[in-house]
Amino acid sequence: MFLNRRDFVHAVVGSGMAAVISSDAQAQPYPSRSTRLIVGFAPGGATDIVGRLIGQWLSTRMGQQFFIENRTGAGGNIGTEAVVRAPPDGYTLLVVATANAVNTTLYHQLNFDFSRDIVPVASIAREPNVLVVNPAIPAANLSEFIAYAKANPKAIRMASAGNGTPAHVAGELFQMLTGVKMIHVPYRGGPPALSDLIGGQVQVMFSSISPAIPFIRERQLRAIAVTTAARSDALPDLPSVSELIPEYEASTWYGIGAPLGTPATIIERLNAEINVGLLDSTIRGRLASLGSAPLISTPVEFGKLIGQETEKWGRVIRAANISID
């Protein structure tokens, strides 16, 4: 069928308008709709709280909803794989944590390569663990604790929230660097481990700092040192392990990652907005209440941190022969 001149002009104009509309749709500024922040752990945990905190900030700053979706299981791997398989369009992001670096070596049957398949967007915060002991342990400081542990090899039971958790690998790194020998006792989470530590069924734990602080203040537990390289504002008078053992550093950190292939412009925008948030007094105060400190970085710097942590914890896991599957 042939078109007359008027119909031809209308067709050309119409197709041109369609092209413009299509182009405009593709060029819509990010974000133009809601974004999922996938958390691989249960609601109420530290990773979830940090994710919700930054999600609320991004929602306010960017004019679209950033909502948390908890995909629990396999130490965070189920949530991670959901993001790996998602379209790389910036609308599905991962709340990254230390567990992601640990899991690379801890699990042998993963269907993804975290370092390859998740692109670093921005770090958010870092928090120490705290080395706490039952008050029956005759040690007031780190030197005394190491001396006592060496004098009583395998007599001290070291609690953790489970195999391969930050508390576990922090304790294994401590043993590697000091030469002490303790018996690891894994629990199904931090609260029951702390409960038994208070009760004396176990004697030491490299606990997350925020749940341990009330027991430290009530003198139900004795704090020996924090595990970050520097002292913590949450317990400013407590030395760090590194003051006696310079090579030692063990911390829990959080950040945001995106599927491989996510446009650089989206990553840069998210990084900039998150870093502005980490300067906000309300967010800094909320992080401080968790025992955390803001951790501002570029995507490249966050990627270097992930690489270094993956290598470090890989050495510890192999040396201690820790395995899940």
Q: Please check whether residue 162 is in contact with residue 187, taking contact to mean a CB–CB distance below 8 angstroms.
A: yes
Q: What is the pLDDT of residues 79-134, one digit of tens each?
A: 999 999 999 999 999 999 999 999 999 999 899 999 999 999 999 999 999 999 99
Mean pLDDT of the chain: 91
What interhelical angle do 166-178 and 142-151 show, nearest 10? 80
Inside any domain, residue 101:
yes
pLDDT (0 to 100) of residue 27: 60
**CA gap 291, 244 in Å, rounded:** 22
pLDDT (0 to 100) of residue 113: 97
Domain closes at, from 181, 215, 243: 243
**CA gap 120, 135 in Å, rounded:** 42
Query: Same structural domain for residues 119 and 169?
Result: no
How confident is residue 45, by pLDDT bands cut at 50, 70 and 90? confident
Domain that holds residue 96: 35-127+251-320
Count CB neighbours of 65 within 10 A. 14
Kindly report the CATH number assigned to the domain that includes residue 232: 3.40.190.10
pLDDT at 17 over 50: no
pLDDT (0 to 100) of residue 1: 41
Inside any domain, residue 19:
no
Inside any domain, residue 15:
no
Q: What is the pLDDT of residues 163-204, one digit of tens each?
A: 999 999 999 999 999 999 999 999 988 899 999 999 999 999
The number of folded domains in the chain is 2
Contacts of residue 173, defined as CB under 8 A and 6 or more positions apart, other chains included, come to: 248, 250, 312, 316
Inside any domain, residue 294:
yes
Domain closes at, from 209, 243, 277: 243
pLDDT (0 to 100) of residue 323: 84
**CA gap 233, 240 in Å, rounded:** 12
Q: Specify the 3-state DSSP secondary structure of 163.
A: coil
| pTM exceeding the 0.85 threshold for the entire prediction | yes
Count CB neighbours of 150 within 10 A. 12
Of all residues in the chain, the percent with pLDDT exceeding 70 is: 91
Q: What is the pLDDT of residues 231-275, one digit of tens each?
A: 999 999 999 999 999 999 999 999 999 999 999 999 999 999 999
pLDDT (0 to 100) of residue 325: 62
Kindly report the CATH number assigned to the domain that includes residue 283: 3.40.190.150
Domain closes at, from 179, 210, 243: 243
